[in-house]
Amino acid sequence: MIPRYSKPEMSEIWADENRFKKMLEVEIFAAEAMSKLGAIPQEAVETIKRKARVDVKRINEIEFTVKHDVISFLTAISETVGPDARFLHLGMTSSDVLDTATGAQLKQAINLLIDETKKLVVIVYDLANKYKMTPIIGRTHGVHAEPTTFGLKAASWYCEVLRSVDKLSFALETVSYGKISGVVGTMAHLDPKIEEYVCRKMGLKAEPVSTQIIPRDRHSIYFTMLAHVGAALERIATEIRHLQRTEVSEVEEPFTKGQKGSSAMPHKRNPIISENICGLSRVLRGYALTAMENIALWHERDISHSSTERIMLPDASIILHYMLVRMQTLLSGLNVYPENMQINLDKTKDVISSGTLLLSLVDKGILRENAYGIVQAVAFNARDNKITMEEACLKNQDIKKYLTVEDIRRDCDASSQFKNVDYIFKRVFK
């Protein structure tokens, strides 16, 4: 991933240095297991552990000639270890090392993603509770519907971000697997105890039935869950983009000192973080599709998945990590304008109480269809003549037949819409 969208904590996990170190751990643990079984000398294992060094530059130099990354890795390690390097990689295939090392990297990556998502949970929790009863117009189809509160919007985000932690935890459980089972998974040249030992040492579980590789449905779950979390962030970002429009101006992204919004228009303060998050979420969805395409490989393995994973594993992980950090910045510094929320509520006056009036008429015994027509006519009259819904109702004889002045005033009071907000919050924030 390009540096612009990379944070060092995640980039380091997918750097060549860490990847080769994980591969070396796999080889050393395999050698340890073999020595415990009496297959290789313990002295050789001690020599390997003492002398083995990862030299990324040297590995890349060798690969330029041999065109094989694992052979290049083993050759470079052999150069530092000496003759005892012959005890490395015995009975193993490249994917034993690669897939097990990747499982360890995935554990590192997901744990970091979970940590950042939990930080976001706290930020959204605070936002929801701070604006629990702050009125804002609810919109459906982009049009004024009925009042809600900004706290309820944030509470909905809170629930989805909390579910994102669960999704990432599921992905962690799904991909935390390794395999040391040989070229087609039969363990023909390996004692099963070697796989058990290596996976335990790497903090992984052994794949129950592997071919030459770990089945790629596991990895597709990882990419799919990342896409889900990205979509959750996109939902928040899309809402903020709409609420920041000049015609709305109910919230606004933080705008730091010295920041500039446009090269041509000095007045601009654009929702660039939200737009950034929305764009990157599309990349994650693309990777999820490719990961599913990687599940169906030829027989015990081909490498059509390999090229895509070399790009996707680091990039998708780095992208989502970046998005999570950016969303933390956005929401922790979000400018919220309750006064503009009230102005927008007032634009449709109390016409948005039409649903409440409809139910009151039905409660008085009027057929719903007839009540709907009465209230719709009153609402359109209020809108067209720029008067309140209460005023229009008080002038309408059909409504006055059934509802008292007190009934009408009660139904046109927006605060009546929030009587169950406390109940919802108690259900969410147990």
Of the residues 189, 262, 304, 416, only one is catalytic, namely 262
Relative to beta strand 335-336, strand 251-252 is antiparallel
Of the residues 141, 263, 299, 307, only one is catalytic, namely 141
Active site residue 141: yes
Cα distances (angstroms) measured from residue 264 to each of 105, 135, 261 = 44, 36, 9
Closest CA to 104 of 169, 210, 201: 201
Active site residue 262: yes
Catalytic residues: 141, 262
